[in-house]
Amino acid sequence: MKAIVQDRYGSPDTLAFEEVDTPVPAAGEVLVRVEAAALNAYDWHIMRGDPRLARLSMGRSGPRARIRGRDFAGRVEVVGAGVRDLRPGDAVFGDLGDANGAFAEYVSVPETLVARRPANLTAEQAAALPLAGVTALMGLADVAPDQQVLINGASGGVGTLAVQLAKTRGATVTAVCSTRNTDLARSLGADHVVDYTRADFTHDAGRHDLVLDLVGNRSLTALRRALTPTGTLVLSGGGVYRGGSLVGPVWLIARGRLLAPFVRQRIVVLSTVPGRSHLETLRAHAEAGRLTPVIDRTFPLPEVPAAIRYLETEHARAKVVVTI
């Protein structure tokens, strides 16, 4: 099969389109013929080995997982021993997690990390859901009806889904984004939109019951200023981080963990866990018409290096997807 492989950290030039062995599903796994795979900021962090501190877990000189990509949608080709709920031909979507491997014609994945894909979504739309959708779901887990929710980074892959999911919970949503994306945020259901090029939401947007920070470009003091006295700050930042440091956005998250026990406001450091239950929740929202992924651009599999350059340099809105 063909796949995008990488043997050393670096720019998109380190990625190669090569022939590799087709995986064989082990017990409890399914072999999926990939139809689409979505890019995430995670992918370029792995590609560049950035921040450098993360190489302790990712691999010292190059990523342990040779094939890039984690979000995918496709059809089951073969089922391994013990697989009960899926059959060849089933349309599925999923998240490979740190195993990676989605930028390929086939992936072998544990049955627990895939679900049947929403019947009303294309393969490209379904591939755009897993990591971003689970991040949005978990970041908004504590939202209750009639609460005030602010989403910083509302036009990104997670943000466009978070706006929609917050509305399904009955929240009043303030979306923070750039001028060119204000109409997009409103079309997704945002009640209020703050153009960060013209206003500072930490001063001018009032106080909120929950702030979901997907960017990491504000201090903890500023972010807490946008909260009610007992509000919740959810940190999943780093989108503004462009690489080249030892710790990167980890420093903001570390400070959040240190401060949390000493303040009345709640500070949550978001950690996403891939799994079928979250995927099935996303499928239910999508099939009910409450959640529709927004796709900025698509690229064919051989052009993954160009797709990652676009993601890195063009401030892509919503999701960038690879078609296979």
Q: Letter for the amino acid at 8?
A: R
Please write the tens of the pLDDT for every residue from 158-207: 999 999 999 999 999 999 999 999 999 999 999 999 999 999 999 987 89
| CATH fold of the domain at 132-269 | Rossmann fold (3.40.50)
Predicted pLDDT at 263: 79
Q: For a pLDDT cut of 70, what percent of the chain falls above it? A: 90
Of 184-188, 263-267, 277-281, 319-323, the least confident? 263-267
* Strand pairing class (16-19; 2-5): antiparallel
The CATH number of the domain covering residues in 2-129+293-323: 3.90.180.10
pTM of the model: 0.92
- Where helices occur in 49-113 by DSSP H, the ranges are 55-58
Please say if the pLDDT value at position 254 is more than 70. no
Please write the tens of the pLDDT for every residue from 49-104: 766 666 566 656 778 889 999 999 999 999 999 999 999 999 999 999 989 999 99
Confidence of residue 241 (pLDDT cuts 50, 70, 90): very low
**Annotated domain spans of the chain:** 2-129+293-323, 132-269
Greater model confidence, 236 or 205: 236
Predicted pLDDT at 318: 92
Mean pLDDT for 204-215 is: 92
- Where helices occur in the chain by DSSP H, the ranges are 41-48, 55-58, 123-127, 130-139, 157-168, 182-187, 201-204, 220-225, 250-259, 276-287, 304-313
Predicted pLDDT at 261: 74
Mean pLDDT for 219-245 is: 79
